[in-house]
Structure formats: C-alpha cells, structure tokens
Amino acid sequence: MTGKLFVIGTGPGNPDQLTPEALAAVAASTEFFGYFPYIDRLNLRPGQIKVASDNREELNRAQAALMRAAEGVNVCVVSGGDPGVFAMAAAVCEAIDAGPEEWKSVDLTVVPGVTAMLAVAARIGAPLGHDFCAISLSDNLKPWDIIEKRLRLVSEAGLVIALYNPISKARPWQLGRAFEILRETLPATTPVIFGRAAGRPDERMLVMPLGEAEAERADMATCVVIGSPETRIIARPGLADLVYTPRFLKDASK
C-alpha cells in the first residue's frame, strides 16, 4: 500500500483563509515538499520534515514527493493559493503521467483552496462578478505569441482578466506589453486592480485606469485584475473605492 499524497494550497497567506480540510492534510502528513516561503506558512510539529526547494523546480519536486509516497510515506505537496491554479496539482499529474506505473496507484488527494484572484476580488468589491478568465503571463512555459493571442481574444470577448505571474526579474516587460495589447480593445477608463498580498499584513491594493496602468506597480506577489467594459467603481466617502462587475449585461444591439 502506498502512502497518501496530499496536494494543498496555503491560500493567499492569511492563515484564516486556510480550510480545515487543508489543515487536516497537514496533520496527516510527515514530509512536506514545496517552495520554502509556502512551507513556512504552516505550523509543523516536531518530527514533520520540510523538503524545501526552489520556485522553478515544480516537476522535480512532484517526482520526489511521488517517490516518497510510493514508498509508503504520507506526504504533502504545498502550493500558495489553490494548488490547482498555475500550481503544484498539475505538476504532480504531469509526473504521474510520465512516471513509473506504480505512481498511478499513489493515493492522491488534491485539496482546493482560495486562489489569489478571489482574495484580491474580495478585498476590492466584486470585480469577478461576471464572466472572467485567469491567464498566466509567464512565458517560461508557453510561447509569448500565444499569450498575446489569448489576451486579444479574451478582451474581445469582454471577460474580466486576472493575470497571474505578471512580472519578475527575469520577465520585466511582459506586463507592460499586455497592457498595450489590452488598450487596443478596452476603454482607457477600464479599471485595473493591482492586488498585492491580499489578506496579508503587507497587502497593498491599488486601482488605476487602464490608460494609465504602469507595469512597475506590480511585483511577484501581485495578481493584476483588468476589468471588462462593464466594470464600475463606487467612490465611498472616507472608505476605499469599491470595484465591481455587474451580474447583468445589457444587449447592446437593442
């Protein structure tokens, strides 16, 4: 019999946004595989072992965890946010798909969590209140021309757009280019939300119109949400603006 392999997300970083199901998976595991800052969000017992690795090594990490689970150890693979959104659940599946036959028998449980765009949306109002999409701007794993094509199509479709992995030292220009592309289709007044570290002590929420949006306002901890043409801003005296996308959409042809 194999050990259990849990794949969890820590949520956006606020411990109150981690579900009891994820905490139970942590309690049931003895070895933890993940990017160091995510593992460090967990309160582990003495005897629970951290096997930390670098941010870029998802597939190796998934393989290492599967190997230990196949040996009978209960292991926990740790992502930030939700493990199914641009995170470790897909890496674990890739490793199973390409790995030795016995890995297919590993007792796998993916535990859903609160992904960044939902935490950002909650802090600012309801920008994801209507149709939306989530696109990773990282061109490490897909060609940049496909990202451009997707941005054009989803903005033409009128979806709200959540951008994950918007910027990093190795990818400094992609977010600015994404804004340029979106300006071709969307009104300059479209609200852009720079949602950094939502729910954490170092949270910073910033709203700018697309026409003035600057890529430098984002960092690696930021999820950028670009409204649709229907997205609205509510000014509130003495309180932060609310940004929301109405549930209804009028028929422009009528």
Report the site for a second copy in 142-171 (rule: CB under 8 A): 142-143, 145-146, 149-150, 153-154, 156-159
Q: Spell out, one character per residue from 192 to 231, where the chain touches a second copy: x when CB under 8 A holds, - when not.
A: -------x--------------------------------
Say how many residues touch a second copy, by CB under 8 A.
82
Pick 42 or 111: Cβ nearer a second copy = 111
Q: What would the two tokens of residue 209 be?
A: 């119109």
Q: Residue 141, interface with a second copy (CB under 8 A)?
A: yes
Q: What is the dihedral of CA 7, 130, 154, 199, to 10 degrees?
A: -50
Query: 26, 66, 76, 111: which one contacts a second copy (CB under 8 A)?
Result: 111
Q: How far is the CB of 38 from a second copy (least distance, A)?
A: 17
Name which position in 3, 129, 166, 227 contacts a second copy (CB under 8 A). Answer: 129
Backbone angles phi, psi at 214, to 5 degrees: -115, 130
**For a second copy, the closer CB: 129 or 179:** 129
184 binds a second copy (CB under 8 A): no
Could you write out the three-class secondary structure of 84-112? CCCCHHHHHHHHHHHCCHHHHHCEEEECC
User: If we measure between CA atoms, which residue out of 17, 8, 223, 16 comes closest to residue 114?
Assistant: 17
Q: Quick one: which of 115, 78, 109, 73 has its CA closest to 93? A: 109
Q: Does 29 bind a second copy (CB under 8 A)?
A: no
Residues between 71 and 110 with contacts to a second copy, criterion CB under 8 A? 82-87, 89-94, 96-97, 104-105, 108, 110
Stretch that binds a second copy, among 44-52, 69-77, 117-125, 216-224 (CB under 8 A): 117-125
With a CB cutoff of 8 Å and minimum separation 6, the contacts of 204 are: 194, 196, 197
Nearer to a second copy, 107 or 216 (CB): 107
**DSSP class of 171:** B
Closest approach of a second copy to the CB of residue 200, in Å: 13
Query: Of these, 51, 133, 181, 205, which contacts a second copy (CB under 8 A)?
Result: 133
What own/partner pairs with CB < 8 Å and gap ≥ 24 does 144-152 have? Answer: 144/174, 147/174, 147/178, 148/177, 148/181, 151/178, 151/181, 151/182, 152/181, 152/184, 152/185
Give the residue with the Cβ less far from a second copy, 89 or 210.
Answer: 89
What's the min distance (Å) between Cβ of 55 and a second copy?
A: 13
Q: Which is nearer to a second copy, 31 or 82 (CB)?
A: 82
List of residues 6+ apart from 76 with CB closer than 8 A: 5, 6, 7, 8, 25, 26, 28, 29, 31, 32, 33
